[in-house]
Chain A
Amino acid sequence: MLAGIGLTLVSIWYGQNHGLMPVEASKDAELVDGLFNTMMIVGTAIFLLVEGVILICMFRFRRKPGDTTDGPPIAGNIPLEILWTAIPVVIVLVIGVYSFEVYRIEGGFDPEAANQSPVQVAMLPGTGMSDIMTAPSLNAAPHKGHHHMALGVGGTPEELQTAPDLTVTVLGLQYAWIFTYPDSGVTTGELHVPVDKDVRLIIKAQDVLHAFWLPQFRLKQDAIPGQDAELRFRPSREGEYPIVCAELCGPYHGAMGSKMYVQAPDEFDTWMQQQVASQPNSDQTVAVSDQPALGSPSEDAAYLAPFANQVGIEVDHLQQLHSMHAAL
């Protein structure tokens, strides 16, 4: 009894004080962490129970030297077996419903992210965004016709009524992320977003599978060639956050990353104006069809260079990438 209370208290304490998660930079992250903490409480309790029983068995039920007799012939206990079937059923049911709810509030059932409704066209302020940055060969893929795949986490149920404040197109290619702001035509190698705004990322892939991961936002979505995906979130904390590629995409997969800067709205506007000014041609649309879609990954630097120039990545971003590769 006392052990049970102690076990419960330790589990509840550890489940909330494990310190294993990185900073929470959005409401969604807090929700996910709440779910994780709950699972940690239950998990710690089960862990302590099982390991405790094993240790007790090791010491208390150890065979005495010279004892060759058998233990008691207990071959089962139906009420006990029903109990330890029923308790896990209840636990997974509760965790299942909790996860479902977190996923719903995060925006997992956003029909637009699910690409199920034709609303998509109305939601996009005619920027011709889908043409930008997509190789014609990929764009020709017949995915317009069957939009029944949920790719990503969309807007929260409340946000669904409104258009996002900012839409950015994200293109993954070996081994970089390229961000395009369709409203201004700005193209960069790092992502800047204003704090407390509803941000939508349209995630595409140029060559192989990549995965766009924001650890501090607990969001991840694979970038799939020929199929657009979406992540929609509202950053709640200013700062600089890593963007990680989380799907094996070639030898330099580990070097494929970027930064996301969550900025105050006026800072963001200043940055955006600088970018617009430095773009050679602000409404430029770049086709990369002249690049082999399935190129040799070992020549990535050479592969990237002309492409990066075309899309107007600043030289220092390119330098970053090169230095990363040089470090290899």
Chain B
Amino acid sequence: MDRNNKQKDSCPNASPLRDVAAQAADPTNLSKFAMTQSEVHATITPPHSPHPHKERKWQDYFTFNTDHKVIGIQYLVTSFVFFAIGGTMADVIRTELRTPASDLVSPELYNQLLTLHGTIMIFLWIIPAGAGLANFLIPLMIGARDMAFPKMNAMAFWMLPPAGILLVLSILVDAPQAGWTSYPPLSLMTGKVGEGIWIFTLLFLGTSSILGAINFFTTIMKMRVPSMDLNSMPLFCWSMVATSALILIGTPVLAGALILLAFDLLAGTAFFNPTGGGDPIVYQHMFWFYSHPAVYIMILPLFGAISEIIPVHSRKPIFGYLAIAYSSLAISFLGLIVWAHHMFTSGTPAWLRMFFMITTMVIAVPTGIKVFSWLATMWGGKIALNSPMLFAMGFVGEFVIGGISGVMVAAVPFDIHVHDTYFIVAHLHYVLFGGSVFGIYAAIYHWFPKMTGRMMNEPLGIIHFILTLIGMNLTFMPMHALGLQGMNRRIALYDPQFQPLNELCTIGSYILAVSTIPFLINAVWSWMKGQPAGDNPWNALTLEWQTSSPPEIENFETLPVLAWGPYDYGIDRFPEEAEPPLTSPELQPESSALS
């Protein structure tokens, strides 16, 4: 606060954020404006604010609030709660698998745990966490005051807790136990109550996801500040365009599959039930038509977040902006035509297996473009090895392992061997834990100062990173070998020859459990007592850093005008040189004439 006041005194008109009309009328602002850009803690509060700001009360976070920033944090905190629940289940599963016999929980409970673990981690942890980041960041990044449909946004969030609580509590009655894929006929035979709750929960969560996606897409398309065209959007927004498209196309098909499954389950129809002439393979097609894109729904937002984090902490422009932006769209499109690679050993004809093999492999190309672009961004930069950057580098390093094994399992003859084995478990966790979860952690460490106005503790963050990296690799790397050697997945008891590697995995999973402790302490303590962050602690260029931390309720006092590209690092932004790096061509000559 003192800093802000001081700055106001010394340079009263200096704010990078300008009303468009004022900008045009008063070009002198521009040169002044350039002077503060390099200041670490630029202010956005004009000297004489007509209205005193309303303060955000803590109670607001527990109510139906339409502020996208509140909703974003609601999503993130809720998803972390479910992460903890799903993670506890994972550790029970790993403890059970420490020995070959089924000795800790009953096999029925084991199947319930693996079903809930998968469902919670996908639908209540990674997808909502991505939605939380998108909610918090999109309006700030594009200079909007809120999302396009604030009430719908709040509604989308508030569908989450009841559905999630219902699903978790189902374990007290009769939890679903047919796996998160819930293939019929098994899912029709393992208890109506649990399966019914599972279907109901997923319909709720899917609806919430669709409402969120409508909001993201509309907001990005319609509510950017006038000076921001599509190709000067932050890459996170590009990735959310791609994600929203997938959600909007895929989720209704999942809803269709679930409703038909519910009819089979509750009304005795036979859409998928072979005893009545139904076809269980049709369910698999419908399910994976959503659930493969769901993988990209889970990873694309974090691709976007990583594209934001790496340039800031490397102090270099993102390498190949357009390639990264359009590769998100390519992944989104290709993601829609690869679903049957989950069914290579199922009821699929040979030509279909070959078609889906090729499309799946082709996805490696846009994904590779992203990975290589991130590496090139870091190369030659001035890298700050702080917690967000470490997690971002960890993301690239771990995700690439999942990508390599992903191309392998796309090859039909090899997939026939490893399908439904621990090789797949290893692959998917490298993508979703090494990828998405590392990405979420990187994003939390990066944007925590913006969300709370306080810095996170660095030593605790580094301890968290090291424990997570070790635990992750110890848990999931041996699973590759287990799967290749012949250990199938979703089993409560296994051949004793696999015990040594399973013990390693179990130890790794305990390290992962422990790794969350420094994070939780860090997050809670920093939120209350952390060092004040200032507006722009990373000296970043995207718009969310040009407002206060935490941002005021309406985000920006006056709507900002884009003065530089989102990644214009290393380009003259120093007051001595007084040459503002303007991206708007029509503003450039004016300002240079002035200076």
Contact = CB atoms under 8 A, between A and B. Distances in A.
Interface of A: 20-22, 31-32, 35-36, 39, 43, 46-47, 50-51, 53-54, 56-58, 61-64, 67-77, 80-81, 84-85, 88-89, 91-92, 95-96, 98-100, 102-103, 106, 108-109, 113-114, 137-138, 141-142, 148-151, 153, 207-209, 211, 213, 215-216, 218-222, 224-227, 229, 242, 244-255, 293-298, 327-328
B190 A149 contact: no
Contact of B186 (A81, A250, A298): A250
Contacts of A91: 364
Contact of B378 (A43, A61, A102): A61
A46 B408 CA distance: 13
Contact of A63 (B319, B362, B365, B383): B383
Given A84-B368, A254-B102, A99 B411 contact: yes
B125 to A, nearest CB: 22
Residue in B189, B281, B421, B485 whose Cβ sees the most chain A Cβ within 10 Å: B189
Given A20-B480, A54-B378, A74 B413 contact: no
Contact of A71 (B179, B189, B281, B316): B316
Given A219-B416, A251-B110, A254-B490, 9 more contacts: A53-B379, A61-B379, A95-B407, A99-B411, A141-B274, A209-B186, A225-B275, A248-B183, A295-B189
B106 interface: yes
B372 interface: yes
Contact of A85 (B186, B369, B417): B369
A143 to B, nearest CB: 9
Interface stretch (B10-18, B142-150, B353-361): B353-361
Contacts of A151: 347
Contact of A58 (B383, B405, B480): B383
B413 A106 contact: yes
A215 B486 contact: yes
A80 B412 CA distance: 31
B354 A242 contact: no
B400 interface: yes
A220 B417 contact: yes
A255 B347 contact: no
Contacts of B110: 251
B371 A50 contact: yes
Interface string B339-371: 000000111111111100110011011001101
Nearest to B363: A92
Interface residues of B, number: 101
B359 to A, nearest CB: 10
B155 to A, nearest CB: 35
Given A254-B494, A328-B102, A150 B365 contact: no
A67 B570 CA distance: 13
A54 B354 CA distance: 35
Contact of B570 (A70, A213, A216): A70
A17 to B, nearest CB: 14
A150 B281 CA distance: 12
Contacts, number: 309
A222 B353 contact: no
Contact of B179 (A50, A70, A248, A252): A248
Contacts of A98: 411
Contacts of B281: 149, 224, 227
A58 B401 contact: no
Nearest to A250: B186
B277 interface: yes
Contacts of A89: 365
A77 B320 CA distance: 7
A207 B416 CA distance: 23
A61 B383 contact: yes
A99 B420 contact: no
A231 to B, nearest CB: 10
B345 A72 contact: no
Contacts of B315: 63, 69-71
B493 interface: yes
A96 B189 contact: no
B396 interface: yes
B321 A246 contact: no
30 contacts: A20-B480, A36-B408, A63-B383, A70-B315, A71-B569, A73-B568, A75-B320, A76-B319, A76-B323, A81-B369, A81-B373, A85-B369, A92-B364, A99-B414, A103-B412, A108-B412, A141-B274, A149-B281, A150-B348, A150-B352, A150-B353, A209-B183, A242-B495, A246-B420, A246-B421, A247-B420, A248-B183, A253-B491, A254-B491, A328-B102
A222 B484 contact: no
Lowest 6 CB-CB distances: which A-B pairs, in order? A254-B491, A73-B570, A251-B107, A215-B486, A226-B274, A70-B570
A288 to B, nearest CB: 13
A275 to B, nearest CB: 26
A263 B265 CA distance: 45
B124 interface: no
Given A71-B382, A73-B571, A294-B189, A328 B354 contact: no
Interface string B391-432: 001001100110011011001111011011100000000000
A43 B416 contact: no
A162 B588 CA distance: 79
B92 interface: no
B304 interface: no
B570 A54 contact: no
A248 B383 contact: no
